[in-house]
Structure 1
Amino acid sequence: MFKKLFQVILFLQIVVFGVYGQTSKSTNYAIIKPATNLTAIVNTAANVTPSARQLRWQELELTAFFHIGMNTFTGREWGDGKEDPKLFNPTALDTRQWVRTVKAAGFKQVIITAKHHDGFCLWPSKYTEHSVKNSPRKNGQGDVVKEVADACREYKIGFGIYLSPWDRNSPLYGSGTAYNDYFVNQLTELLTQYGRVDEVWFDGANGEGSNGKKQVYDFDRWYKVIRKLQPSAVIAIMGPDVRWVGTETGYGRETEWSVVPANNLDQLTITAKSQHDITFKPKGDMRGDDLGGRDKIKTATGLIWYPAEADVSIRPGWFFHAAENDKVKSPEKLMDIYYNSVGKNCVLLLNIPPDKEGLLNASDVNALQGWKKLRDETFKINLLKDASVECNNGVNLKSILDDDYNTWFTTHNKDTSAVITLNLKGSKTFDVLLLQENIAIGQRVEKFELDYWDGNDWKKATEGTTIGYKRLLRFSPVTANKVRLTIESSRLNPTIATMGLYKQP
């Protein structure tokens, strides 16, 4: 009776105050005072949480990129801005086919390349003649951005825009303020004419313009425009909300912390930019093997929630080239990328470029469908379903199996380790482990191990470091009727929202 009462009180503490020491006022950054010891820094890191826009973005898991423009018709990857707008003439362009196809494949958001480096605009911008308004498509009356936005609303999927800061067509590029004004004008068009925008995607391309000069980008100004006009949009990957994972392979890190050092984050920065809506972006190299481990944060003066996006194209190039129709990534390759991106605490941004007709090519569509089938077959049945759960220092044990991300297992008192034993209903064969932390509470687990009972002893099936929003691990097939998950190390109390065992087809 006393034990049950204690658990009820403990549960109420978690709901009302957060998990042990985290107040209801959570933020996606923290300032570290001078001389703070490592233990205190680690505890602070455990309480840094995603903003609402970052959490929504992480839950997407899969976002589709649509690269279409001048390069589609010239066969290039980077245009020089001298192309004739009359080249752009996709005679069967159907954005509903694009969005319908990727939604059926499990994607929850798309991003359209509204303007690539050649400066050609897929919408009729009033600030340049280098746009669809001077193309033969629909006699210059078309607006591809609008058609994508409309299709996203129809199919209830997120809508994002890519706008290249590098513009090889504009004579203003390299002029300083005048080009930044031009860029803000185009950005404002995109953020005010197409309804809700969920993501704005900038890359770091910064070559020479038509005048032979490079431009100094006013990112801070651009961020403020986005926050004002589309406050729910995440800004990636040259932005404050989402960072680039560091390669264009679609593969993430074995150890992927969403909380990273921000050594130019200080109280004056916060005060100047408002505590409620900071547009701060960490500086420095974000491509190491481990960006947020204890050795990386021990000298931090600030910490910030800055999750990773892994991007890759389904083809060798980012734009459609007919010669690559037989080089589309196979369902099996896409599955491997999935395990190494979404399964490593990243969101996967997969590019599927429309062809010259303006359709997703059959080669790409078939690959997407085969990949979706593999995912469905793999994750159809959680072999832990109906298992009994035991843990001497655990709270809310069954929540790791209830299919509800908003409930979670945690530990008593200030325990940062736990052994969770699960008794399956008979012997099961499995080779995939799925784990999720409730990142709304924070990312905390630093090391874990999965063991199985072979009838005589415990044997290791797999192990890992970070979990984050989702961790997927494959291993040699195991048959057992009992497993245990050992949380060896955690920053404050672990919060395990989901656990699953699956068998690959």
Structure 2
Amino acid sequence: MMTATSARPTVQQLRWQDYELGMFCHFGLNTFGDKEWGDGTDDPARFDPQAFDPRQWVSAAQAAGFRYLILTAKHHDGFCLWPTETTDYSVRSSPWRDGKGDVVREVADACAEAGLPFGLYLSPWDRHEPCYADKEAYDDFYCRQLTELLTGYGPLVELWFDGAGSEGREYDWRRIMDLVEKHQPDAMIFNMGRPTIRWVGNEDGVAPYPCWNTAESAKASLFTKDMLTWLPDTSAWVPAECDVPIRELQWFWHPGAEERLLPLERLLDIYYRSVGHGANLLLNIAPDDRGLLPEADVKRAIELGNEIRRRFDHPLGETEGAGNELTMEWPSPQTFDHAVVQERIEEGERVRDYRLEARVDGRWMTIAKGSAIGHKKIDRFAPVTADGLRLTVRQADAEPLIRRMACYLADDART
């Protein structure tokens, strides 16, 4: 495995890290049973989303500023949202579209039409499939399901492998990874096997600080302290993804639960502590039993997107450069309360200690300091009126390469 200091991202990882915001959609039989984890015994006849409209999902995602979408093709209950040849526990056995529908197909097509990258979640744990108890037989079964998804639905941006329920279970990850490499070499691989991105380790949507892009392992799930053993040829560059549902503790839709919608200020705090710590944020918005994203959830997500744009679309100044010091100056003082700094991470993550200073009345004063910058670090501070902003790198593994340094006045007073 490469050392942390020598690690570099692939072109695909760089592209994915620039997406920053993704939308997760948990949808399936659980949607119709008021459940989070079905046990694999629910009748497929319950699945009948009469107003199913993935274009509405995609439109909402893009209006809110999400740059990719992940769908649960199969959750732990084993129910498949595509007409798989591996089991009859799928949409093929439902009344929806007279048993001829394919949720994965329609969502993939809606994403493709809108130019929104599309990814899939396929639970390794399967509570319905009888052969799950037979490791070799289930490995064959799972690889057949995965192959159908890898080959039938166009380019995939990400494959989400959930460790929940699989604690202590070993799957044939070498074989699984070889299938992904063969059929979807550009897809990000989430957390298991030979991952190219890792789970942040919680379902609160927040990353610790510092959250380095390099790692040698990650937690398997919320239900164990065990760390995963990745395949030995896993790259050291494994950036973090932070997942969280927009309704507190509910990944699937439940009737009468709008009061669980996270308030805007909580979502903004999550944004600062995920994207603002250099990670990606994957926010779950669950379709309801109509097959639509609930209006209240869409409204809240768009409020979040609008506020992010309001705060960060109009910098008061920006610059880039190399070396231990980078300065931005104005002919007259500017008032700002945020700074965003990004490294040119294609050359690795180099900064280990930095300080931001503002020049007020001719004197430099410290307004923020930290360790990691990586893909993006957002610093918030009390409003300061200054005619200069200076980044000083106090420790680095190699010459600092700053892709962008910008400052903003995001306080409500600006509006």
* 1:105-184 equivalences in 2 (<5 Å): 105-184=64-143
Residue of structure 2 equivalent to 1:356: 289
Q: Which runs of 5+ in 2 are unaligned?
A: 228-232
Residue of structure 2 equivalent to 1:309: 241
Residue of structure 1 equivalent to 2:144: 185
- TM-score, normalising length from structure 2? 0.92
Find the residue that maps to 1:337 and give its secondary structure.
helix
- TM-score, normalising length from structure 1? 0.76
Equivalent in 295, 307, 322 of residue 374 of structure 1: 307
Tell me the alpha carbon deviations over residues 174-216 of structure 1, each in whole angstroms, 9 at most, x when there is no partner: 20100010000000111111111111100112359xxxxx853
Aligned length: 400
Residue of structure 2 equivalent to 1:46: 5
Rounded to whole Å, the distance in 2 between the matches of 1:286 and 1:328 is 24
Rounded to whole Å, the distance in 2 between the matches of 1:286 and 1:255 is 21
In the superposition, relative to structure 1, how do residues 173 and 363 fare at CA in structure 2: closer, same or farther (>3 Å)?
same
Find the residue that maps to 2:206 and give its secondary structure.
coil
Find the residue that maps to 2:131 and give its secondary structure.
coil
Find the residue that maps to 1:205 and give its secondary structure.
coil
Equivalent in 185, 188, 211 of residue 256 of structure 1: 211
Rounded to whole Å, the distance in 2 between the matches of 1:286 and 1:129 is 29
Shift of 1:48: 1.6
Shift of 1:425: 3.3
Amino acid at match of 1:354: P
- Do the aligned residues in 1 keep the contact of 2:199 with 2:219 (CA within 8 Å)? no
- Do the aligned residues in 2 keep the contact of 1:175 with 1:215 (CA within 8 Å)? no
Residue of structure 2 equivalent to 1:217: 171
Rounded to whole Å, the distance in 1 between the matches of 2:143 and 2:361 is 66
- Do the aligned residues in 1 keep the contact of 2:111 with 2:118 (CA within 8 Å)? yes
Find the residue that maps to 2:111 and give its secondary structure.
helix
Residue of structure 2 equivalent to 1:241: 196
Rounded to whole Å, the distance in 2 between the matches of 1:144 and 1:285 is 28
Identity %: 44
2:257 matched to 1:324? Answer: yes
2:84 matched to 1:84? Answer: no
- Do the aligned residues in 2 keep the contact of 1:174 with 1:216 (CA within 8 Å)? no
Find the residue that maps to 2:375 and give its secondary structure.
coil
Tell me the alpha carbon deviations over residues 47-84 of structure 1, each in whole angstroms, 9 at most, x when there is no partner: 32111221121111011100011111111100000000
Equivalent in 203, 208, 230 of residue 184 of structure 2: 230
Rounded to whole Å, the distance in 2 between the matches of 1:445 and 1:488 is 8
Find the residue that maps to 1:381 and give its secondary structure.
coil
Rounded to whole Å, the distance in 2 between the matches of 1:337 and 1:302 is 29
Amino acid at match of 2:17: Q
Rounded to whole Å, the distance in 2 between the matches of 1:166 and 1:47 is 35
Residue of structure 2 equivalent to 1:39: none
Residue of structure 2 equivalent to 1:341: 274
- Do the aligned residues in 2 keep the contact of 1:64 with 1:350 (CA within 8 Å)? yes
In the superposition, relative to structure 1, how do residues 97 and 177 fare at CA in structure 2: closer, same or farther (>3 Å)?
same
Residue of structure 1 equivalent to 2:230: none
- Do the aligned residues in 2 keep the contact of 1:247 with 1:310 (CA within 8 Å)? yes
In the superposition, relative to structure 1, how do residues 91 and 422 fare at CA in structure 2: closer, same or farther (>3 Å)?
same
- Do the aligned residues in 2 keep the contact of 1:335 with 1:371 (CA within 8 Å)? yes
Shift of 1:303: 7.0
Tell me the alpha carbon deviations over residues 82-111 of structure 1, each in whole angstroms, 9 at most, x when there is no partner: 000001111101001001110121111111
Q: CA RMSD in A?
A: 2.1
In the superposition, relative to structure 1, how do residues 190 and 449 fare at CA in structure 2: closer, same or farther (>3 Å)?
same
Shift of 1:284: 7.5
Tell me the alpha carbon deviations over residues 321-360 of structure 1, each in whole angstroms, 9 at most, x when there is no partner: 1232122122222211111101111011111100110101
Amino acid at match of 2:377: R
- Do the aligned residues in 1 keep the contact of 2:163 with 2:221 (CA within 8 Å)? no
Rounded to whole Å, the distance in 2 between the matches of 1:486 and 1:237 is 34
- Do the aligned residues in 1 keep the contact of 2:242 with 2:281 (CA within 8 Å)? yes
- Do the aligned residues in 1 keep the contact of 2:36 with 2:252 (CA within 8 Å)? yes
Shift of 1:459: 1.6
Rounded to whole Å, the distance in 1 between the matches of 2:314 and 2:234 is 42
Equivalent in 330, 351, 356 of residue 450 of structure 1: 356
* 1:260-271 equivalences in 2 (<5 Å): 260=215, 262=216
- Do the aligned residues in 2 keep the contact of 1:245 with 1:286 (CA within 8 Å)? no
Find the residue that maps to 2:334 and give its secondary structure.
strand
Rounded to whole Å, the distance in 1 between the matches of 2:219 and 2:46 is 40
* 1:395-414 equivalences in 2 (<5 Å): 400=320, 409-411=321-323
Shift of 1:465: 0.8
Tell me the alpha carbon deviations over residues 136-171 of structure 1, each in whole angstroms, 9 at most, x when there is no partner: 111111100000100110000111000000100000
2:17 matched to 1:58? Answer: yes
Shift of 1:256: 1.3
